[in-house]
Structure 1
Amino acid sequence: MEALIRNIIEQHKKKKKKTIETKYIVSELKALGTNLYSDSSLAKPFAAAMQKLVDDGAVKPFGNSSSIPQYGGAMSKYYINVNYFESDDDILPSSVLNDLHPKLNMSYYVKHASEYYELEGIIHRINDILFDNDSEILTANERSYLIFGDEKAIMYPADASIDGADILKKLGRLTLEDIKAKRTFEPFFYLATSGYHNLTEKRNVLIVENQDTFNTFMDAVMEGQLPDVHLLIYGEGNAITRKFEFIQSIHGKLDDNYYYFGDIDPVGISIYHRLKSTFPDYNIIPAVSLYSYMINKVNPADARKLRKPQKVDDTSVSQFIATFDTETGMVIKDIVYSERYLPQEVINKTDMVRLNGIGIH
C-alpha cells in the first residue's frame, strides 16, 4: 500500500500541488482497487503507510489538520515535500547496485543519481562496514569520522560539515548498531567498591548532590565505614540528570537500589524528582535515613533562610515526602514552604561512624 500511496502523492505533486488531503488519497486508492470505504481492516495499514511517509520525509502533517479515526488516525491533510519527489534527469544505472549489502536501501539514490555520485565514496565505506562482521565497535563519533571525515556528522549533524544522520536515514534508516558504532555518555565521577563488581544481587548506589559531601562519603567508603554503599556517584547538582545515562557504561542495573541524597530545599528536591522522572525504569528513591539523620542532628527550627528565592514545585515536594514517615515528611514540607533550607553539609566526617550503624536505606 505504501508504494501506491507514494505514487499517488508523486502524481499529485506533478500537478504543482503542495498539499494533499487524505480523502483524495483514499479516493485514488479506491480507483486502484484498494477500498478503505468498504474494508475497515485496511485502516491500520493505511495509517502505518502514511506514518512511514512522514518518517521518510515525503510528507508532513498540515498545520491545523486533525486525525481521522476511520483511517487509523491518519491526519486529514499533509504537506508534500516537493524536494523529496524531485528526481535527477539521470537514473542511477542498475550496475551500480551490484555487490551492495542488502541492508542498503538505494531507492532514494536510484532517483537522485547526482547525489549518489557525490557521496559514492561514503556509501561504499558504509557498505564495507556492513559486510565486515569482524569490524570493531567504535564510538559514534569515531565511526562518524572514519565514514564522513567529520566526527559530529552522525550525532550532531547541525554542527557538522555534512549531515551523516540524513545519509544513514536515506540508506534505509541504518542504525548505529548497523555501522558497528555505539553511543557514549557524558561521564560522572564515581567510586565503585569490589562489592559493586562482585555482587550478583541488588547493589546499593548512593548519589550525592554536592562536592564536599561527596568527598566526605568517598573517604568513608574507602575506609570501609559505609559497607552498604557499593557505588558512590557525585551528582554535581543538576548535572546528574544529563549524565545519569553513563550508568550503562559501568554496568548499572535497573533493579539496583539508587539512593539520592541532596539538600533539603526546593532545588535539591526538584533535582531528585527530575532524575526519577527522566529515568523511571531505575529504582531511584531518596536516601531516607540520611535525610532523617540531618533533621535529627539539628533543630529544624534553626534551618536558615534561603539566600535567594527558589521556586517550589508542589508535585516534586509531595512525591518526595511521601517516601518518609508522616512526622519527618511534615518537617521537610515546613522547611521548604517556609523558604528555609538544610544543606547536606550538615553531615560531616564526624557522623560517618554513626551512619555505619544506620545505613543509607
Structure 2
Amino acid sequence: MKNIIDDEYKNIVKVVQELVDEKFLVPIESSGLNSMADPLYKRYRIVYEENSDTLEENVELMDELNGHLYFKINIDVYKQDLKLYKKHRYYVRLFSDFMKKNSNLLKIQCSINERSFEVFGDEKFLKEDSLAKEMFKAMDLDMNILNFYMAPEPFFFYKSTEKTPQNILIVENKDTFYTVRKLMLEGKQIFDMEFSTVIYGEGKKILRSLEDIYYNDNVSYINNAENNFYYWGDIDKEGIWIYQSLKEAYSSFNFKLLKEAYKKMLELSKIYGIHKNKKSQKVKIDRITELDSETEKAVLDIALKDNYIPQEIISYRRLIEK
C-alpha cells in the first residue's frame, strides 16, 4: 500500500511541477513545504486568465499526456501549449486508441479516405481537414504511419490513336474538352495543330488524375517521353498555377503552353471584357517564359489582379473560323 501511495505522490509532484513551469500555478512560499522526500509547497495560487481553463481540467490534460497516449506521440509541444492539445484532443485520442488497439490493421494498405474513416470516423479528415496536418506535425509523426495510398482522380480523355509520339492537349474545363473532342472527331485541327488525345483536367484535379497513366494499361501510351503535352486553361492565377505545377510534378514530360490559345483569349477579351474573380486565389505563380514578353505581361497583369478570362471565351465557332 505504501508503494502505491508513494507512486501516486510522485505523479502528483510531476504534474504540479509542470503546472508551475507552464505558469498555471504559483507556489505560495509563505505556506512552507510539506515534509515529504520530494517536497511541495502547502499552498499554490491559481493563475487566472480571461477564459482560462480550470486547474482541474489542466491537471487532467497533463495526466493524460503523461501516461495515456500512444507511446510514439511526442507530447512536448502539447505540454507547452495545453490549448493546442485541447484543440487536437478529440482526434489525438482517436489516433492513440487506434494505434494501441488496432495497429495490426495497418499491415494492409488502403486508400486515404478508407483509412481516415477507419481511424477517425471521418473519411475526409486526413485528406481535406487542415487540422490533420497540424496535429501530425505537433505529434512529430509522419501521416504515412497510417499506411494509406492516394486514390487518383478519375481520368477523362478521348483518343483518336495510340500511335506515339503524338500531341496531347490538356484543357482545364469540361465544355472546352467536348469542343476539342468534337473537332477531333470531325478531323479538324486546333490552332493549326494535330492532336491525337485530349484530356479533361477538371481544374487542379489533373495533378492527381494524370497519375493514372502509371497504373492504367489503357492509357500507358501517354507515358511516352517523346509525346508533346500542351496545356490550355483559364487566364487567371489558378489556371497558370495548374500548368506550372504540372510541369514541376511531371518533369519528365515535355510540357508546353498552347500559346496560340492564350493570344486568342486576349484578343477576344477586347470584345467580351475581362472579369473579376469572386474570391481571391491564394496560389503563387512564376513568370511565364514560354510566352513572348508582350503576351506574358498581359496575362500576368490579369492574373495578379485576381481578374480572369475564361477558357470558354473561345467557342467552337471561333476555333473553326479562319
Q: What is the TM-score of this pair, normalised by structure 1? A: 0.45
Instruction: Show structure 1 runs of 5+ residues with no match.
Output: 1-58, 64-118, 120-147, 162-182
Query: Against the structure 1 CA distance between its residues 187 and 306, is the aligned structure 2 distance closer, same or farther, given a 3 Å change threshold?
Result: closer
Alpha-carbon separation, structure 2, partners of 1:247 and 1:308: 33
Is the CA contact (8 Å cut-off) linking 2:247 and 2:255 kept in structure 1? yes
Alpha-carbon separation, structure 2, partners of 1:343 and 1:236: 14
Is the CA contact (8 Å cut-off) linking 1:254 and 1:283 kept in structure 2? yes
Alpha-carbon separation, structure 1, partners of 2:254 and 2:201: 16
> C-alpha deviations, 1:232-259, integer Å up to 9, x for none?
0000011100111112331211231111
Q: Secondary structure at the match of 1:281?
A: coil
The correspondence for 2:281, drawn from 310, 315, 318, is: 310
Q: How does 1:54-203 map to 2 (within 5 A)?
A: 153-156=108-111, 158=115, 186-194=153-161, 197-199=162-164, 202-203=165-166
> C-alpha deviations, 1:248-299, integer Å up to 9, x for none?
3312112311111110001111111222211111112211111112112332
Letter in 2 for 1:335: I
Identity of aligned residues (%): 32
> C-alpha deviations, 1:25-59, integer Å up to 9, x for none?
xxxxxxxxxxxxxxxxxxxxxxxxxxxxxxxxxx9
| 1:184 Cα offset (Å) | 8.5
Query: Against the structure 1 CA distance between its residues 254 and 187, is the aligned structure 2 distance closer, same or farther, given a 3 Å change threshold?
Result: farther
The correspondence for 1:288, drawn from 259, 270, 275, is: 259
- Residue number in structure 2 paired with 1:235: 201
Query: Against the structure 1 CA distance between its residues 213 and 160, is the aligned structure 2 distance closer, same or farther, given a 3 Å change threshold?
Result: closer
Instruction: Show structure 2 runs of 5+ residues with no match.
Output: 1-71, 77-103, 119-149
Q: Secondary structure at the match of 1:293?
A: helix
- Residue number in structure 2 paired with 1:75: none
Q: How does 1:234-313 map to 2 (within 5 A)?
A: 234-248=200-214, 249=216, 250-251=219-220, 252=222, 253-299=224-270, 302-311=273-282, 313=284
Q: What is the TM-score of this pair, normalised by structure 2? A: 0.50
Report the count of equivalent residues. Answer: 188
Is the CA contact (8 Å cut-off) linking 1:300 and 1:331 kept in structure 2? no
**Structure 1 residue 211 corresponds to structure 2 residue 174:** yes
Is the CA contact (8 Å cut-off) linking 1:237 and 1:271 kept in structure 2? yes
Runs of 4+ in 1 over 2 A off after TM superposition: 152-161, 183-187
Is the CA contact (8 Å cut-off) linking 2:168 and 2:227 kept in structure 1? yes
Query: Against the structure 1 CA distance between its residues 209 and 153, is the aligned structure 2 distance closer, same or farther, given a 3 Å change threshold?
Result: same
- Residue number in structure 2 paired with 1:353: 320
Is the CA contact (8 Å cut-off) linking 2:179 and 2:316 kept in structure 1? yes
The correspondence for 2:184, drawn from 221, 225, 228, is: 221
